[in-house]
Structure 1
Amino acid sequence: MSTRKNILITGASAGLGEQMAREFAARGRDLALCARRTDRLERLREELLAAHPGITVSVRALDVNDHGAVFEVFRAFRADLGSLDRVVVNAGLGKGQPIGTGRFDANLQTAQTNFTAALAQCEAAVEVFRDQGAGHLVVVSSMSAMRGLPRNLTTYAASKAGVAALAEGIRAELLRTPIKVTTLFPGYIASEMSGSAGRTPLMVSTEKGVRAMVKAIEAERAQAKVPAWPWVPMGFAMRRLPLGVVARMS
């Protein structure tokens, strides 16, 4: 398997995306990084180039809910680097409120960002890969996708289940092609988005969690629950336990 040299990461200004950029930079990869907060992207670019002066880091502003801009930015990054070998669909939103409590606006924003915007990113990435005849699409879902979850997680879990099904459908479409698709199901990994989940003993540091994510990405596994412990057995349990038990766990 050849090295994926040029890697695009969305939502790269903070959290998991930012740390993935550091991990791939340490491996000598050239990076295309995008997010809404360009000031943070520029600081990250300076940090990565100082630590790894041999790499190329291209940064662009992108709000993934501007679907036309997604296609424009992905094509521009391809022009910057010559090709896109891997695209990590990472940008996402964690906010949400219990259904029927008057916060449809928050739930709609989560659904649009985590699913519709992810669809736009997948479309733009696979369009490039089809033209190149090769590429690796990585979609960041969540362990929340295993089951329907209550309270503030309801729409978030549904959107992450949707994006996992989307990635699997793309994988089914491209099985006999040189284009690979990986779906990641992160557990509790410390980030700006993890919020109150920080109180759980299952939380791991951003660095440890992202190392597990990058290892699975580099192996180009079809699906990976990360970190494997305890999330592989937890995923098995979440799929099979009664809904009332799962609801109490969340």
Structure 2
Amino acid sequence: MSARPTRRNILITGASSGLGEQMAREFARRGRNLALCARRTDRLEKLRAELLERNPRITVSLKALDVTDTDAVFEVFRSFAVEFEEHGGLDRVIVNAGLGKGQPLGSGRFDANLQTAQTNFIGALAQFEAALETFRARGSGHLVAISSMSAMRGMPRNLTTYAATKAGVATLAEGARADLLGTDIVVSTIYPGYIRSEMNEKVKNTPLIVSTEKGVAAMVAAIEKEKASAKVPAWPWVPMGLLMRVLPLPVVARMA
């Protein structure tokens, strides 16, 4: 495998808010060209204006995308791939789009759990397929899966379906990584801990939660290292990840 290159052209899904929006800011600050997509294009337009004002030398392209429309995932990714050929081609895709609106199983809210599963897992599967189609054709690239620390174990209440989908995303990524060993296509899984974002803005502050800026800075630093997996921020989530694997389920349930 060749030496790790600098990824110049980065596609981020779910870029209109939260972690995706802040990742766009971090990569723009590093001078990277961005392909941003999300359902809310008005917010993407506002973000592009901000990014170009601060970083006028980069390219920022936008497209509307609801990742539950799997045909659209392929159309958008292929369109971005063609568009960025003049800049050297897409060389990193960050599978970030997701929902956190699950409800306790059996509580009459299958609709919310189904929407979460379709967005977080089926949508991620389509993004993996579309990204790796591009990377296999190019012979290189970096696929980044944004999972969650909740993927370490089964979680109770509103987190049950969400945690299951994020565990599924992590397993998809590991399977892709196994399939691509010995190639120039790298697959990384990022496990964010408690990072403040639009998804959890109503959650009360906890001793472990960090700001969006601090948390995403740690995420981007981990992504740039291109390791197989990373728990971020490293403190306290590296040791917490080890504990979550072995602690009795009643203890883990109280962490939710």
Question: Shared fold by TM > 0.5?
Answer: yes
Deviation at residue 77 of structure 1 after TM alignment = 0.7
Distance in 2 between residues matched to 1:191 and 1:158, nearest whole Å: 20
Work out whether 1:244 is the aligned partner of 2:250.
yes
Aligned to 1:36: 39
CA–CA separation in structure 1 for the residues paired with 2:6 and 2:167: 30
- Per-residue Cα deviation, 1:104-163 (whole angstroms, up to 9, x for no partner): 010011111110000000000000000000000000000000000110000000010011
SS in 1 for 2:199: coil
Shift of 1:199: 2.3
2:51 equivalent to 1:54: no
CA distance in 2, matches of 1:146, 1:30: 33
1:216 and 2:222 correspond: yes
Helix, strand or coil: the match of 1:249?
coil
Partner of 2:100: 94
* Aligned partner of residue 183 in structure 2, secondary structure: coil
The answer on whether the counterparts of 1:11 and 1:91 sit within 8 Å (CA) in structure 2 is: yes
Counterpart of 2:19 in structure 1 is 16
Shift of 1:198: 3.7
- SS state at 1:193 partner: helix
* CA deviations over 1:52-71 (Å, ceiling 9, x no partner): 00000000000000000000
Mapped partners of 2:40, 2:78: distance in 1: 20
AA of the residue aligned to 1:40: R
Cα deviation, residue 81, structure 1: 1.1
Query: Which structure 1 residue ranges, 5 or more long, are not aligned?
Result: none
Q: Map residues 1-250 of structure 1 onto 2, 5 A cutoff.
A: 1-82=4-85, 83-250=89-256
Aligned-residue Cα RMSD (Å) equals: 0.7
- Please, what TM-score do these two structures have when normalized by structure 2? 0.96
Q: SS state of the match for residue 203, structure 1?
A: coil
> What SS does the corresponding residue of 1:87 show, helix, strand or coil?
strand
Aligned partners of 1:5 and 1:209: how far apart in 2? 22
1:196 Cα offset (Å): 4.2
Distance 2:119 2:204 in 1: 23
Q: TM-score, structure 1 length as denominator?
A: 0.99
2: CA distance between counterparts of 1:197 and 1:244? Answer: 21
User: SS state of the match for residue 10, structure 2?
Assistant: strand
| 8 Å Cα contact 1:182/1:221 also seen in 2 | yes
Flag as ranges the 4+ runs of structure 1 deviating above 4 A.
Answer: none
- Measured in 2, the distance between the counterparts of 1:126 and 1:214 equals 21
C-alpha separation in 2, matches of 1:110 and 1:198: 22
Match of 1:142, as an amino acid?
S
Q: Deviations over 1:224-248 (max 9, x none)?
A: 0000000011111110000011111
- Counterparts of 1:78 and 1:71, CA distance in 2: 10
Residues 197 and 203, structure 1, Cα contact 8 Å, conserved in 2? no
Q: Distance in 1 between matches of 2:42 and 2:125?
A: 26
Any idea what SS the aligned residue of 2:198 has?
coil
Q: How many pairs does the alignment contain?
A: 250
